[in-house]
Amino acid sequence: MNASLTAQANSPNQTSMRAWSVALRYGLIGGAVALFLALVGMVEAFATRYVIANVIDLGTLLLFLSYLGAGYVAIKRSGARTPFEILSQGAFAGFIASVFIALLAVVIYAIPGIRTIFINASPALLAILTFKMGVPAGLVPILLSGVIFGAIGGLIEILPPSLRRSLIYAAMVVLVFGLMQDLLRVTLQKWKFLDPATSFTFSNNGLTIVGAVTLFILTFLASQLWQRRGNEARARYRQLPTRQQQLLGWGLIAFSVALLLVLPLLVGLFFSEVLVNVGLFILLGLGLNIVVGFAGLLDLGYVAFYAIGAYTVALLTSTSLEIVYAGGNPFWLALPFAVFFAVLAGVILGIPVLKIRGDYLAIVTLGFGEIIRLIVLSDFLKPILGGSRGIELIPKPFIGSFEFAGPEELYYLILAGCGLAAFVAIRVKDSRLGRAWGALREDEDVAEAMGINLVSTKLMAFAMGAAFGGLSGAIFASKLAIIYPSSFNLLLSINVLAVVIIGGMGSIPGVVLGALVLVGLPELLREFSDYRLMLYGAALVIMMLVRPEGLWPEKSRQRELHESQQEEILSGPLAADEEVAREGAAG
């Protein structure tokens, strides 16, 4: 009994010590991240780009975000609840993170030869870290910024969810506008009536202070309004008669279609090129989503169907003098053949893997993709397929006198392909075949016991997925007017699979959102080319940690994942703690 009372008396102290150890741990992690960003050169390279003109540059912002993230995660993990605990532990985590940067500044100042080991530890970096105050005067603002932003990160965690979301959205909008200022200014210059707004928002190097504040406030208010009125609007919509709901639904669809049709005219040439690249991955993702998301068949050789569609169109349409067989045909005549041969390849792949499951299926399909690439590269077929030189002079598609020449025209061809693929996927998903794929995905043995024909069901998944892959490859060939075997490597299959997983397996809107994030975002960040892929990888890691079910998950998969997580929680340490508490109460 005395031991139980002693344990209860010590439990607040133990809880407090545990909370401070959590703050220390995440402060160390935040400091390591900040140190890494500085030593790889990102802080110095990004310091030339101002988010808000003459106020804060992107390099310094990266350091501040490291401190803020340390404080935010520390409070989230420690369970601190009182204002004093939140402020003190968040500030402590941020302080620990900033100590790393302060030590780096001291080392750069005291050891000039450090650059022979760390080439980015330059005097310019020292000036950035110390706010151009040098050592030791600049150490105070380094540590003070860590304390302030760590405390802010802690405060963010305890805000009401709606307020926290609005603040995060507003900050993200300001950051996006600051990062994309050059592209946005060029795009907005097309519309002369927007010149006053452009001058109000942007300066020569970053957002204006007034423009940044205005963007923040408008986004914050719009988010708050949506969160407060959104539920009311949805409730009113559900109370409307079915006929009115249908009319509103069709009106929303019509508005979305109209917006998509005029989008190239609004965004300009560069953004149209980005949309074309995103559209190709949406089309590929919708096809692979049928195989992986609907049927649960892990396919790592999906690039093979993409290559088959591209080479079929190239062989049937190319006017190259070196490769003249059936060339010279219009794109629209070659397109059905591209889809047909891709479907045929999907069936040929499906037949030998009917009895294979899981990881073994992934290995076999991976081999199929490599076989297609090596066949294209082979000397035996070089007179036909061009070998490593590829196939040139692939003509653009025509409709009458209209040529799909540039990205602003090809956009409509890809939009039609994506619309067709999405329509088919939506219709098939809830059909008898779609339900059979769902049963197959959950358990093949149970599906077969229920009377589902595994052979035809699997072959239909491979064939339908391959059809969209071939369609995308055909458009890709006409887009570039020249294709090479190097365009169809394993990395493409991995990227398309990442689009499906990040967006949400089995979710059609998720594929669209995944392609926008994984393909569109790196394209927009090309000005940071040296660090673009590193940022891309970090974003993938963060997204999978924060939303493992995907950005726009399918409802059934989201429920399954959260149910499994709940079971793990109930059967883990929490259940053990509850059992100990019950025993103590009984004692």
CA distances from 47 to 98, 456, 531 (A): 18, 58, 14
Q: Sign (positive/negative) of CA torsion 325, 330, 331, 334?
A: negative
Q: Judge whether 21 and 28 are in contact, CB under 8 Å.
A: no
* CA distances for 499 relative to 363, 492, 521, angstroms: 20, 11, 12
Could you identify the residue written with the tokens 């300001």? 174
413: left (phi over 0), alpha (psi -120 to 50) or beta: alpha
3-state secondary structure of 443: coil
Write out pLDDT tens, residues 476-524: 999 988 898 888 988 889 889 989 988 888 899 999 998 998 888 777 7
Residue pLDDT, tens place only, 541-584: 877 777 778 888 877 766 666 655 554 444 444 444 444 444 44
- DSSP letter assigned to residue 173: H
User: 184-193 long-range contacts, Cβ below 8 Å, gap at least 24?
Assistant: 186/268, 186/270, 187/267, 187/268, 187/270, 187/271, 190/268
pLDDT at site 337: 94
Which residues neighbour 76 within 8 Å (Cβ) at sequence distance 6 or greater? 157
pLDDT tens digit sequence for 422-461: 999 999 988 999 999 999 988 888 888 888 898 899 999 9
Of 422, 113, 167, 450, nearest to 283 by C-alpha is 422
pTM: 0.84
Show the 3-state SS of 531-551.
Answer: CHHHHHHHHHHHHHHHCCCCC
For tokens 């508005």, the residue is: 255
Residue 52 belongs to what H/E stretch? strand 50-52
Q: What is the pLDDT of residue 15?
A: 74
The tokens for 585 are: 């109460």
Mean pLDDT of the chain: 85
Contacts 24+ apart (CB under 8 A), 541-547: 543/502, 543/517, 544/502
Six token digits for residue 496: 């398309």
- Per the CB < 8 A criterion, the answer to whether 476 and 280 are in contact is yes
The pLDDT profile of the chain, 587 residues, written as one tens digit per residue, is: 444 544 444 566 777 788 889 999 999 999 999 999 999 888 998 888 888 988 898 899 999 999 999 999 998 888 767 888 888 999 999 999 999 999 999 999 998 888 888 888 899 999 999 998 988 899 999 999 999 999 999 888 788 888 888 999 999 999 888 888 877 887 787 778 888 888 888 888 889 999 999 999 999 999 988 888 877 777 787 788 888 888 888 888 899 889 999 988 888 888 899 999 999 999 999 999 999 999 989 888 899 999 999 999 999 998 875 554 566 788 999 999 999 999 999 999 888 888 888 788 888 888 888 888 888 888 888 888 888 888 888 989 988 888 888 899 999 999 999 999 999 999 998 899 999 999 998 888 888 888 889 889 999 999 999 999 999 999 999 998 889 888 898 888 988 998 998 888 889 999 999 899 888 877 777 767 677 777 777 777 877 777 778 888 877 766 666 655 554 444 444 444 444 444 444 44
pLDDT for residue 475? 94
Cα angle for residues 579, 580, 582 (degrees, 5° grid): 65
CB 285 within 8 A of CB 514: yes
Distance of alpha carbon 43 from alpha carbon 56, whole angstroms: 12
